A and B are shown apart, each in its own frame.
Chain A
């Protein structure tokens, strides 16, 4: 198969219909002769970005975004294992669902970033701001991705930002989740560095930070 817009779209279609085998076959054919990181950057990342943007505009559903991220994460792990030196150079990054026990948003961003060649530590869900400060400082985290579903959890980002600052951490906090989608001023109010509307936003923000840090 030659690389063409049609074939990349076919890969996207396989992801959206949750057809793992088809996605794997297309990827293999599309990327003959390419390096693993080229595969990631020229096929996986554009596909996941397109799917994320399509969710934002209401054209695909969150379940499709989630499953696409998972499939890509699994496919990438087969040819670019975790900790492989060919993975991207990046700031030290972690992700957590702050206070919240709703972990889907975190899982989607985690999978999408891993499928894009990033490595990040998963601090889990239901973690308090104090604990997150402690772990971030101990691990020298430079970028902290924070997912929330409940408004009360989103408001705890303020305590997290204050705690990190007090502890001398310069970690950038990128927030995401429903409260930030429904109130676009909220991320600034709670002292985050940026807000990602969806997984593709998170991927773009990571690329920007990769250049800046």
Chain B
């Protein structure tokens, strides 16, 4: 049963300590649904930090999940670098044409200052306001794109892979510039009141690059950033596979790893148990069409696979629930998380493992 005296933050910290809280924490990473709540277009919604704060508070009141999530949209970082952002009515804004059009542009690239970026300042204000709303009752989960993954938006994915394989010197020059920006951005969010940072690093996943290349690049960069960040990082591979590099992710200093719906959550639990907290692994794409029963079944399966002993936060597997996911499904997920997530998980042994 729920213990009303347990706050969302306490619940989260207990599971991060690899102990069982009153129930499995549920993080609903809803970046866009607040616009529906406020009856606004996404462009209007993201134009003011107060809108995002109001949206987050309303969504949390509705679904009772365990965090607030002030991420505006991933492409905001490219906007800070002077890039174009394209808004849509039915999905997250996308980065437009790359800001690095030819490799030689990297030589003269300078990192933007967080204090001079209107979009980042809006995000920081949203964090401050949310922190003052929730205090120590719930974690404020902020996000940043890793220096290693940001070039996908800065220069296009194919050009970036070409760079990694063909010009390692210029690649490291880009990484140096990106790291300077990233560390300033991460620490500014922590200073504003963020409890932890989701370090989004899909390029590091085994889906995208082989482990030996990851060790030379993404791992090295994550380790450097972790050392310079003034707070905890949760490494999120945004639906990418993590099992091939899970020991390395743990070694890089992360406390949490966001896992993919495409990997067996039981294998993940076996690899992570007592070492790193699992965040996931509900399939956000399928979620759009789930029935109430399918939502309950998916939640039950995830909790059965990873809930025992704590070290598990139930969430979607991408770090952003699609705009198309209906309210009824979010209610069903939230309800099932309470129904099946209350510790001790006595039912799991009887469940078809």
Contact surface of A with B, Cβ cutoff 8 Å: 18, 58, 60-64, 66-67, 100-104, 107, 126, 150-153, 155, 178-179, 181-183, 185-186, 189
Contact A67-B165, Cβ < 8 Å, known A100-B94, A104-B157, A182-B286: yes
CB distance from A211 to the nearest CB of B (A): 31
Any A CB within 8 A of the CB of B86: yes
Contact A61 B206, CB 8 Å, known A178-B239, A182-B285:
yes
Which residues of B lie under 8 Å from residue A66 when comparing CB positions?
A: 158, 161
Within the complex, the shortest CB–CB distance from B230 to chain A, in Å, comes to 32
Give me 28 A-to-B residue pairs in the complex whose CB atoms sit less than 8 angstroms apart, sorted by A's number: A58-B207, A58-B241, A62-B209, A63-B161, A63-B165, A63-B210, A64-B210, A66-B158, A67-B165, A102-B94, A102-B152, A103-B156, A103-B157, A104-B161, A107-B158, A151-B285, A152-B92, A152-B323, A155-B90, A155-B324, A182-B261, A182-B262, A182-B283, A182-B284, A182-B285, A182-B286, A183-B288, A186-B285
The 10 A-B residue pairs with the shortest CB-CB distance in the complex, in nearest-first order: A152-B91, A104-B157, A182-B285, A183-B285, A61-B210, A107-B158, A63-B209, A183-B286, A151-B322, A61-B209
* Chain B residues bordering chain A, tally (CB within 8 A): 37
B208 touches A179 (CB 8 A): no
A102 and B285 form a contact (CB under 8 A): no
Instruction: Please measure, in the bound complex, the distance between the C-alpha atom of A181 and the C-alpha atom of B90, giving whole angstroms.
Output: 20
Residues of B within 8 A of A179 (CB): 285
A182 and B239 within 8 A (CB):
yes
User: Nearest A residue to B323 by beta-carbon distance?
Assistant: A152
Residues of B within 8 A of A151 (CB): 91, 285, 288, 322, 324
In the complex, what residue of chain B is closest to A111 when comparing beta carbons?
B158
Interface centre among A67, A101, A189 (most CB of B within 10 A): A101
A107 contact set on B, CB distance < 8 A: 157-158
Main SS class of interface, A? helix
Complex Cα–Cα for A175 and B323 (A): 21
Return A127 CB to nearest CB of chain B, in Å. Answer: 13
- Judge whether A101 and B95 touch: CB under 8 Å: yes
Note all chain A residues with C-beta closer than 8 A to B97.
Answer: 101
In the bound assembly, the distance between CA atoms of A152 and B209 in angstroms comes to 26
A181 to chain B: which residues have CB within 8 Å?
Answer: 262
B82 within 8 A of A: no
Q: Across the interface, do B95 and A152 meet the contact criterion of CB distance under 8 Å?
A: no
CA of A66 to CA of B95, assembled, Å: 22
Q: How far is the CB of B290 from chain A (nearest CB, A)?
A: 10
**Which of B158, B210, B283: most chain A CB closer than 10 A?**
B158
B-side contacts of A18, CB under 8 Å:
165
Verify B239–A63 contact, CB threshold 8 A.
no
Q: Measured between C-beta atoms, what is the minimum distance from A69 to chain B in Å?
A: 10
CA distance A18 to B289 in the complex (A): 41
Is B244 in contact with chain A by the CB < 8 A criterion?
yes
Q: Is the CB of A102 within 8 A of B241?
A: no
Query: Which of chain A's residues have a CB closer than 8 A to the CB of B210?
Result: 60-61, 63-64
Contact A183 B289 (CB under 8 A): yes
Q: What residues of chain B lie closer than 8 Å to A63, measured between beta carbons?
A: 161, 164-165, 208-210, 213
A63-B208, A102-B94 are known; give 11 further A-B pairs, CB within 8 A.
Answer: A58-B244, A63-B210, A64-B210, A101-B86, A152-B88, A179-B285, A182-B239, A182-B284, A182-B286, A185-B289, A186-B285
Query: Could you say which residues of chain A place their CB within 8 Å of the CB of B111?
Result: none
* Docked complex Cα distance between A60 and B210 (Å): 7
Task: Tell me the bound Cα distance from A103 to B261 in angstroms.
Answer: 23
A91 CB to closest chain B CB, in angstroms?
A: 26
Closest residue of chain B to A104 (Cβ to Cβ) is B157
Closest B residue, CB atoms, query A184: B286
User: Cβ of B64 < 8 Å from any Cβ of A?
Assistant: no
Write the nearest CB–CB distance from A212 to chain B, whole angstroms.
Answer: 30
Q: Report the bound CA distance from A25 to B58 in whole Å.
A: 63
Contact with A along B60-96 (1 / 0, CB 8 A): 0000000000000000000000000010101110111
